[in-house]
Amino acid sequence: MPWNEAGTPTLVSGRGEKPEHGTAHASHTAGVQQYEWSGAWVIAARGSYDMDSITPLADALAAGARKYPKVVLDACGITFADSTFLNLLILTHQAGTLRVVAPSQPVRRLCEITGVDQLLEIRGTIEEAAVS
């Protein structure tokens, strides 16, 4: 089933609340938490992302890019990512200002192998990404 037909996404919002960075446990299920931080929209993605699980993240990134001048993707909790995820990052980058924060090893490797790390703006912290 294509990612855009996967059904109704379940999004968790914590507007104004910043979760602790890097405390998520590795999971094969995908989860998205969203909040505003220093004028940027932060999306903390956790779990595994492929064509069957990308919809909540795709919806969150698209909505954030429409409403905010900067979208920050906290990628430290992503345990798996494939070309569907990579394509989503590129499309979001083209749609607006995207910063990727603390990518996990699988995300970092995917970006390095494909050269996307030269296209995307990768930052170490959410604070750094929000103000840069």
Task: Map 59-79 to HEC letters.
Answer: HHHHHHHHHCCEEEEEEEEEE
Residue 12 pLDDT: 40
Q: Which residues contact 128 (CB under 8 A, 6 or more apart)?
A: 101
For CA atoms 98, 110, 62, 37, give the dihedral sign: negative
Rounded distance, CA 21 to CA 67, Å? Answer: 24
Q: Which residues pair with 43 in a beta bridge?
A: 34, 73
Q: Is the pLDDT of residue 119 over 70?
A: yes
Mean predicted confidence (pLDDT) in 55-77: 97
Residue 29 pLDDT: 79
Mean predicted confidence (pLDDT) in 88-115: 97
Six-digit token string for 55? 């919809």
Residue 69 pLDDT: 94
Query: pTM of this prediction?
Result: 0.78
Q: If we measure between CA atoms, which residue out of 14, 12, 26, 81 comes closest to residue 53?
A: 81
**Rounded percentage of the chain residues whose pLDDT exceeds 90:** 77
